[in-house]
Amino acid sequence: MKVKICKMCKQKFTPSRQGQIVCSVKCAHEYSKLLQAKKRKKEKIEFIRSDRRYLTRQAQYWVNRYVRLRDKGVCISCGNKTRKMDAGHYRPAGRNSALRFDERNINCQCVVCNQYKSGNLIAYREALTKKIGLEMVLELESSNQCKKWSVEELREIIAKYKAKVKELNNG
């Protein structure tokens, strides 16, 4: 058979059977340990990632809930108040993840404005300018930052906004 390079020790060897990728029993053993370690590492990363996804959703849930309470359930774009309100990002969170949990960037919106009118942005901008001032609006508009929120940061946001929601509910 043709000479191969051992996957483990990187030395040349002549396989004694088809599909052999390591030169010796010792290398086979080490190689399987290596693969297992790689798999564990991958699983761990996978776990952390899914945890971060979960925490991101939780953090957004609590920030949004706070925003709806803060804004007393009134749509920033059209002024309507319905039973079910959304919290709408002025700058979409997907492309501006640094603004994902920014209170200035999230305001109470009715489902019609948020979901069917793509945020009803012209009216949104007008009302937001009145609410937080043109300077802040321009600041939000010039921000194009991607931020990878850490598990710790997400946990802090969740705790902070749970407390703020509680405070508003009690006050």
Pick one of 21, 53, 78, 103: the residue that binds Zn ion (CB under 5 A): 78
Report in angstroms how near the CB of residue 153 gets to Zn ion at its nearest: 31
Task: Write phi, then psi, for 15 (nearest 5 degrees).
Answer: -60, 145
E strands present in 1-160: 4-5, 12-13, 85-89, 106-110
Query: Is position 110 an interface residue for Zn ion (rule: CB under 5 A)?
Result: yes
Pick one of 87, 99, 106, 113: the residue that binds Zn ion (CB under 5 A): 113
Non-local (6+) Cβ contacts of 128 within 8 A are 76, 90, 104, 107, 137
Site string for Zn ion, 8-47 (x = CB under 5 A): xx-------------x---x--------------------
Nearer to Zn ion, 69 or 98 (CB): 69
Query: Is position 6 an interface residue for Zn ion (rule: CB under 5 A)?
Result: yes
Element (H, E) at 157: helix 151-170
Distance CA 11, CA 30 (A): 14
Report in angstroms how near the CB of residue 56 gets to Zn ion at its nearest: 26
Tell me how far apart the terminal alpha carbons of the chain are, to the nearest angstrom: 81
Non-local (6+) Cβ contacts of 139 within 8 A are none
Distance CA 154, CA 60 (A): 9
Nearer to Zn ion, 27 or 67 (CB): 27
Query: Is position 99 an interface residue for Zn ion (rule: CB under 5 A)?
Result: no
Nearer to Zn ion, 75 or 140 (CB): 75
Query: Is position 128 an interface residue for Zn ion (rule: CB under 5 A)?
Result: no
User: Interacting stretch for Zn ion, rule CB under 5 A, among 7-15, 28-36, 59-67, 155-163?
Assistant: 7-15
Task: Write phi, then psi, for 11 (nearest 5 degrees).
Answer: -95, 155
Summarize as ranges the residues that interact with Zn ion (CB under 5 A). 6, 8-9, 23, 27, 75, 77-78, 80, 110, 113
